[in-house]
A and B are shown apart, each in its own frame.
Chain A
Amino acid sequence: MTTAAEGTEPRIAIAGLGKVYRSRKSEFEALRDINLNIGKNEFLTLIGPSGCGKSTLLRILAGLEEATAGSIRIDGEPISGPGADRGMVFQSYTLFPWLTVRENIEYGPKLNGVPILERRKISDRYLKLIRLEPFAKAYPKQLSGGMKQRVAIARALANKPKVLLMDEPFGALDAQTKLEMQQILLDVWEKEKTTVVFITHDIEEAVFLSQRVCVMGVRPGRIVSEHVVPLPASRTEETRMLPEFVSLKRELGAWLKH
């Protein structure tokens, strides 16, 4: 169904993926026949109404749930369970409340046995990237929602994952903070060069962030359409006014009404 963005070999190859929840009395088909290739350093967004299985797909990618059909390969290797190669940012705040901002960022490298001086360098770099250097020693409870999500992004990236999975990370934030976070995320993505799979139900967010958007439909959850975003790589607030931006928004809106 799809090919990866031009000039890149696929980082993620999803083939014939399906997920059926079975209980003794009933069956629910959450996902049917998902085929998708995602390129190295591509920013891909899955958008769809609630119940379309977009979160389920992301959780299967993360290895937190198992598919009932099909396969997922990362760089040609089939995935088995969660791993450090696929970092994840959740919608709910999931910073470890007993660790400071810096310790949260260093959590992954510490697990992997990175020596302390090296860890310090890594956390310094990411604190700078998310513009939270003055908060290195703060505990999560002292941070605003937007700051918490920035730290969650830094914590995932500090682990050098091949793929960054984001499950509506800005869904709980107020409108103004959300715009700010989108800009910061794009800056980080440009500097870090990593593959991002992003989930949202916000059309504007999808267009602003992504290189490619897949619209998902319900009953069963499946990909109904795919759109390459015809916008320049570096984006600012003015990008939102471009005719291409507005027309893609309208197009996605129409697909979502299907």
Chain B
Amino acid sequence: MGLSEVKAAARKRPKLQIFRDIEPALFTALATASFVVILGAWLLVSRLGLVDPVFLPQPQNVLAELVRQLGTGEYWTHIWISVFRVTAGFLLACAVGIPIGIFAGAFRAGSAVIEPPMEFIRYMPAVAFIPLIMVWVGIGEWAKILLIFIGCFFQVVLMVADITRRVNPDLLHVSYTLGASRWQTIETVLIPAIRPELVTMMRLILGWAWTYLVVAELIAVNSGLGYAIMKAQRFLNTEQIFVGIIVIGLLGLFSDRMFALMHKRFFPWL
């Protein structure tokens, strides 16, 4: 085969191969490029005056607003109260949902009792519970935490049940033949086996928790990032709206990275 034929053969293979790994440097470059393109498009559209700045503020103004807001104690109060609500609702949903999910996944009877009603409830929009929540617990902190809890809890249970069912049954059989009781098998095999996927699940659910937070903070509040966004809207202050959205995005990114780090740190066997 001549050199030209080799080259022709190489050219025929498409660059994008399904699941094929790419150079880490190329990955970073592409990821950066995608941010740059988004920012560039934003800059272009707003600079050319294609859109009224009331609808789409200029990036540098948003940045200036971001710096200004983060310089005020008030904005940090909003951030902290939002972080508190998300964390409380999320942790509560995990603390209650994970054991129930394991029970439903491990035992067929548990699955029968727990999963059908959960499947039913999870299709009800959490937002529709808001009036009910206000009747139940009023409009205080518990109302926000409860909304986030409702938004996450049912998903947690069903996802944990599914994760639990996917554990290789031979691992359980091995532990039985090594003398483990049913409870010991749950403790020393089932739970360790699902830990990495539990962390992945929590990472996903935390994203949802942030979404429900913003919804929760649209109702009867005077603090939090959702409130800050709503207040800005009333004054048509689009820069502040953008700041609120970006801060939530950054907090989400930060917590997501924390979970990714935990995964590497706690599960060296993967």
Q: Which segment of B102-110, B188-196, B240-248 sits at the interface?
A: B188-196
Give the interface SS of chain A, mostly helix, strand, loop or mixed.
loop
A83 to B175 Cα, complex, angstroms: 9
Q: Range of interface residues on chain B?
A: 20 to 34
A156 to B174 Cα, complex, angstroms: 9
Whether A98 pairs with B173 at a CB distance below 8 angstroms is no
How would residues 156 to 176 of chain B score, 1 for a CB under 8 Å from any chain A CB and 0 otherwise? Answer: 000000000000101101111
Whether A98 pairs with B179 at a CB distance below 8 angstroms is no
Residue of A nearest to B179 (CB): A84
Given contacts A111-B188, A139-B269, A141-B269, contact A94 B178 (CB under 8 A): no
How would residues 96 to 130 of chain A score, 1 for a CB under 8 Å from any chain B CB and 0 otherwise? Answer: 11110000000110011000000000000000000
Residue of A nearest to B178 (CB): A108
A84 to B170 Cα, complex, angstroms: 16
Question: Which of A82, A83, A92, A140 lies at the interface centre, i.e. has the most chain B CB atoms within 10 A of its CB?
Answer: A82
Shortest distance from the beta carbon of B186 to any chain A beta carbon, whole Å: 13
Which chain A residues lie closer than 8 Å to B268 at the CB level?
139
**22 A–B contacts, CB within 8 A, in A order:** A64-B173, A64-B177, A82-B173, A83-B177, A84-B178, A86-B177, A87-B177, A88-B177, A90-B170, A90-B174, A96-B171, A96-B193, A98-B193, A98-B195, A99-B269, A107-B188, A108-B178, A108-B179, A111-B180, A141-B270, A155-B178, A156-B177
Which chain A residues lie closer than 8 Å to B175 at the CB level?
107
Shortest distance from the beta carbon of B167 to any chain A beta carbon, whole Å: 11
From A63, A92, A139, give the contact of B176 (CB < 8 A): A63
Whether B178 pairs with A92 at a CB distance below 8 angstroms is no
Inter-chain contact count A-B, CB under 8 Å?
68
Residue of A nearest to B189 (CB): A96
Given contacts A98-B195, A111-B188, contact A64 B171 (CB under 8 A): no
From B168, B173, B189, B195, give the contact of A88 (CB < 8 A): B173
A83 to B180 Cα, complex, angstroms: 8
Which chain B residues lie closer than 8 Å to A96 at the CB level?
171, 189, 192-193
Whether A82 pairs with B171 at a CB distance below 8 angstroms is no
Whether B188 pairs with A94 at a CB distance below 8 angstroms is no
8 A-B pairs besides A82-B176, A96-B189 with CB distance below 8 A are A84-B179, A87-B178, A90-B174, A94-B171, A99-B269, A108-B179, A111-B179, A159-B178
Shortest distance from the beta carbon of A149 to any chain B beta carbon, whole Å: 13
Given contacts A90-B170, A90-B173, contact A112 B179 (CB under 8 A): yes
Q: Does B34 make an interface contact (CB < 8 A)?
A: no
Which chain B residues lie closer than 8 Å to A108 at the CB level?
178-179
Given contacts A82-B173, A98-B267, A141-B270, contact A156 B189 (CB under 8 A): no
